[in-house]
Structure 1
Amino acid sequence: MASSTKIVLRKKPNKNGEFPLALRISKERKTSYIYLGHYVQAKDWDNKKIRIKKSHPNHAQLNSFLQTKLADIGRIILGLQTDNKDVTTAQLKDEIESTINKKDFFQVAQEYLNDLESNSKLNQLSSDRPRVNHLKKYTKSVHLPFKEINVKFLKGFIAYLRTERKVSQRSVINNLIVIRTIFNRAIKSGLVDRKLYPFGHGKIVIRFPETEKIGLNTDEISKIEHLEHLTNDEKDAKNIWLFSFYLAGIRAADVLQLKWGDIHNDRLYYHMNKNSKILSLVIPHKALHILEYYKQTKQGQNDFIFPHLKWINGDNDKILWNKTKLAIRKINTHLNSIAQNAGISKKVTMHIARHSFGNIAGDKIPVQLLQQLYRHSSITTTMMYQSNFMNKKTDEALQSIVNF
């Protein structure tokens, strides 16, 4: 079987003026091509040495990729020769493609994103899709073999995120978590050998940075409660924020998507958007007064309680998610005005309602009860969250030392 293979730069450029790299397979004067998914400019390609020139910013990575592909192809051809198989150029191409074109990282990543969308996890989808795109921009390719994602590669990606994209340390961690999730998915599916896993002891360790959580105190919340002379939009924002706070900091999306049918005998029953848990909470008297204000516009059990999503088709997940996201943005804008009118210097957003509840709860409530109120799956999560607000004992200890 007299055949030859060579990596070449094809002649037709893309819209960016870059040319595709392809594997040329020749046998008995018949030629076929397998495109490798990478594009480079003609000036960055050394046709004699069959490699990317150093003028290309990712020359080392791309050359390593090409060498790996050639080695894989060599093993395929050697195996066919050993088996004395006389195959045509088309058959040889199919044999090579079926072996070397296994699912790569971005293919598995797309499956992961598709699953998020099909399961209506749209909030997570909106966060994770840009993180996958960050990796595409870093690699400057639509293909990324899992074997290339090693410690050195990830350190380079981390540096890129910090220096080029100017993201926070928490954002860096979130990007790494998506890569880890997709890598684990590939391992579970048998696409990748676990020994290639680049995370863990002695490799890339993911540690969440400490974040500062600042909530309002009782005086500040009282100022919001008694604030008057508000516009209708500001009054809605105030009511929605207070309703969230009164019920242990229910997340903004969950509050906006509450329906009258979720209330039975002064109790609230609802599904959490974040993890689909079913929760039941008694509605405090202050929150009942807010509901009374909106009962005048109630149209039925399937009607949304708060006005921002009225006349929205609640069965269309994408429309509902988009409108909810837009509504939260508008509410936060009005909360900023409310904070200024109330003389509150802290930044007030819908999420701060949750922090404010934690700040006031402090160490007054057993952590097991707080876990239920926060709807945390793990008590460890509750302890870590609440540690941001439990300062009374340490403050008293400090005062006892310095007050002499």
Structure 2
Amino acid sequence: MSTVKTVLRKTILADGSYPISLRVSKDRKSKYFKTIFRAFPMEWNQTTGSFTNKNSNNIQNNRLLLKFKDRALKILSDLEMEKSDFTLKDFENRFRLVSNPVHQNVFYFWDEIIGEMIYAGRTGNARVNKEVFASLNLFHKSTRLNFKDITPSFLNKYEAFLRSRGGSDGGIGVRMRTIRALYNFAIERKIAKEQDYPFKIYKVSKLKGKNLKKALRIEEILQIRDFDLARYPRYVNTRNYFIFSFYTRGMNFVDMMKLEWKAINNDKIYYTRSKTKGNFKIKILPPVREILNYYKEFAIDTKYVFPILLKNNLTPPQLENRKHKTLQRYNKELKEIAEICGIDKPITSYVARHSFANCLKQKGVATDIISESMGHQNLSITQTYLKEFDNSVLDNAIEILV
């Protein structure tokens, strides 16, 4: 026998309320399915599985809950007609494929996608999606939002909201691309309709960051390379990470964090870039060798080169948390090093990568060689990196006219 009931779960949420789920039971086993609702104990009748009159919108909420329950009962009835030995997994597959009011809800579907990202180890993507989820929820002021409600007008209003809170083109672009990716997932899974797709009219491309990337000249790189660590020993890791990144073709922080000693073989470093999955074989230059020798001498008991991950076999959420905390400190200390060196540019971990490209260009290396060395898929990406340098060359050339 199969049963369906709406229940208040035992996991308390941040505001003191509890999530409401659909509990489907068969053969003494149960499976829970999230709904968009939450309630405080006083607002919920556990016996009837419904909102009490202490909930401000109890009539409408109960009607919607009843629709969810009826939908589940209909699927159970169909499955029992087809085969009496069906499982809860069979029900789940059918239930998630059926277009229903809950699944069409943006926040409900988004929560599922974030869960999938975490399960797949894509914790960085999950973190960004959580941040945009919270931002959109703050703007909309309700968890009731269907995909068809995300219109070009809705997106323009959300953009205005972000700008009123100090949002830049780059930051707003990240949020809009995240929502666009979610909408594409929804279309792919038959949750949203392609005819309602708002990004045919609302163009995210208009939000490309207009600020040029701040790359350093080779003279500024050498200032950081020769930084007086005897006087400022607290910056040893930050200085080493930045110089290591620069001389390894702009290896990014995540790849440095995960770099293992076994990836170093004689005079080469072998690694796969996390972002693009491109394979790299990099010659170890003297500044890199010096840094590797330093960490070999003071190695901690892990498989990693750098003392960023302090234990082996961390879970994806642990890796993401460690990356986030260490990167914050790294970027803060980079700015302090720049100030001590008299470098009047905003320096972050990614500046090492841009600086590598620009310094090669400064030395006369061809753009296609720079592109190959950085693992770019096309020259246009490299040209974006080199834009600031190209402008400075033009400025200097124009001076001969004065």
State the Cα distance separating 1:348 from its structure 2 match: 2.9
In the alignment, the residues of structure 2 paired with residue 251 and residue 273 of structure 1 have an alpha-carbon distance, to the nearest angstrom, of 9
The one-letter code of the counterpart of 1:389 is F
Aligned to 2:19: none
Aligned to 2:247: 246
State the Cα distance separating 1:35 from its structure 2 match: 4.5
**3-state SS of the aligned residue for 2:269?**
strand
**3-state SS of the aligned residue for 1:390?**
helix
Instruction: Give 1:29-48 correspondences, 5 Å limit.
Output: 33-35=63-65
In the alignment, the residues of structure 1 paired with residue 236 and residue 317 of structure 2 have an alpha-carbon distance, to the nearest angstrom, of 27
Aligned to 2:369: 369
**3-state SS of the aligned residue for 1:313?**
coil
Aligned to 1:257: 258
Q: Contact 2:103/2:109 (CA < 8 Å) preserved in 1?
A: no
In the alignment, the residues of structure 2 paired with residue 205 and residue 331 of structure 1 have an alpha-carbon distance, to the nearest angstrom, of 31
Q: Contact 1:151/1:198 (CA < 8 Å) preserved in 2?
A: yes
Q: Deviations over 1:142-187 (max 9, x none)?
A: 2311111111111111111122x32212111111111111111111
Q: Which moved more, 1:272-281 or 1:148-157?
A: 272-281
Aligned to 2:281: 280
**3-state SS of the aligned residue for 1:171?**
helix
Aligned to 1:328: 327
**3-state SS of the aligned residue for 1:199?**
helix
Q: Deviations over 1:80-119 (max 9, x none)?
A: xxxxxxxxxxxxxx9xx97544432222212221222122
In the alignment, the residues of structure 2 paired with residue 213 and residue 242 of structure 1 have an alpha-carbon distance, to the nearest angstrom, of 18
State the Cα distance separating 1:287 from its structure 2 match: 0.9
Q: Contact 1:267/1:281 (CA < 8 Å) preserved in 2?
A: yes
Instruction: Give 1:10-159 correspondences, 5 Å limit.
Output: 12=43, 19-20=56-57, 22-23=59-60, 33-35=63-65, 99-159=100-160
In the alignment, the residues of structure 2 paired with residue 98 and residue 212 of structure 1 have an alpha-carbon distance, to the nearest angstrom, of 45
Instruction: Give 1:126-205 correspondences, 5 Å limit.
Output: 126-163=127-164, 165-200=165-200, 202-205=201-204
In the alignment, the residues of structure 1 paired with residue 99 and residue 337 of structure 2 have an alpha-carbon distance, to the nearest angstrom, of 62
The one-letter code of the counterpart of 1:394 is L
State the Cα distance separating 1:196 from its structure 2 match: 0.6
Instruction: Give 1:207-226 correspondences, 5 Å limit.
Output: 207=206, 208-226=208-226
> Structure 1 residue 318 and structure 2 residue 317: aligned?
yes
Q: Contact 2:180/2:199 (CA < 8 Å) preserved in 1?
A: yes
In the alignment, the residues of structure 1 paired with residue 175 and residue 218 of structure 2 have an alpha-carbon distance, to the nearest angstrom, of 37
**Rg larger in structure:** 1
The one-letter code of the counterpart of 1:323 is R
**3-state SS of the aligned residue for 1:212?**
coil
In the alignment, the residues of structure 1 paired with residue 113 and residue 168 of structure 2 have an alpha-carbon distance, to the nearest angstrom, of 25
**3-state SS of the aligned residue for 1:373?**
helix
Report the identity percentage: 25
The one-letter code of the counterpart of 2:63 is Y
State the Cα distance separating 1:280 from its structure 2 match: 2.0
In the alignment, the residues of structure 1 paired with residue 209 and residue 328 of structure 2 have an alpha-carbon distance, to the nearest angstrom, of 26
Q: Contact 2:300/2:307 (CA < 8 Å) preserved in 1?
A: no
Q: Contact 1:21/1:35 (CA < 8 Å) preserved in 2?
A: no
**Normalising by structure 1, what TM-score?**
0.71
Q: Contact 1:358/1:389 (CA < 8 Å) preserved in 2?
A: no
Instruction: Give 1:365-404 correspondences, 5 Å limit.
Output: 365-391=365-391, 393-401=393-401, 403=402
Q: Contact 1:158/1:172 (CA < 8 Å) preserved in 2?
A: yes
State the Cα distance separating 1:374 from its structure 2 match: 2.2
Change (3 A) 1:216 1:104: same
Q: Unmatched 5+ residue regions in structure 1?
A: 1-9, 25-31, 38-93
Change (3 A) 1:276 1:107: farther
Change (3 A) 1:102 1:225: closer
In the alignment, the residues of structure 1 paired with residue 365 and residue 151 of structure 2 have an alpha-carbon distance, to the nearest angstrom, of 46
In the alignment, the residues of structure 2 paired with residue 131 and residue 205 of structure 1 have an alpha-carbon distance, to the nearest angstrom, of 15
> Structure 1 residue 359 and structure 2 residue 396: aligned?
no
In the alignment, the residues of structure 2 paired with residue 142 and residue 305 of structure 1 have an alpha-carbon distance, to the nearest angstrom, of 45
Q: Unmatched 5+ residue regions in structure 2?
A: 1-38, 45-50, 68-94
State the Cα distance separating 1:318 from its structure 2 match: 1.8
Change (3 A) 1:23 1:319: closer
State the Cα distance separating 1:396 from its structure 2 match: 4.2
State the Cα distance separating 1:282 from its structure 2 match: 1.6
Aligned to 1:86: none
In the alignment, the residues of structure 2 paired with residue 203 and residue 331 of structure 1 have an alpha-carbon distance, to the nearest angstrom, of 37
**Normalising by structure 2, what TM-score?**
0.72
State the Cα distance separating 1:21 from its structure 2 match: 5.5
In the alignment, the residues of structure 2 paired with residue 308 and residue 342 of structure 1 have an alpha-carbon distance, to the nearest angstrom, of 25
The one-letter code of the counterpart of 1:33 is R
Q: Deviations over 1:347-392 (max 9, x none)?
A: 3332221222122123632333222322333332222222232235
The one-letter code of the counterpart of 2:153 is K
State the Cα distance separating 1:316 from its structure 2 match: 2.0
Instruction: Report the count of equivalent residues.
Output: 322
Change (3 A) 1:396 1:349: closer
In the alignment, the residues of structure 2 paired with residue 253 and residue 378 of structure 1 have an alpha-carbon distance, to the nearest angstrom, of 23
Change (3 A) 1:155 1:306: same
State the Cα distance separating 1:291 from its structure 2 match: 1.0
The one-letter code of the counterpart of 1:19 is S
Aligned to 1:348: 347
Q: CA RMSD in A?
A: 3.0
Change (3 A) 1:188 1:222: same
**3-state SS of the aligned residue for 1:268?**
strand
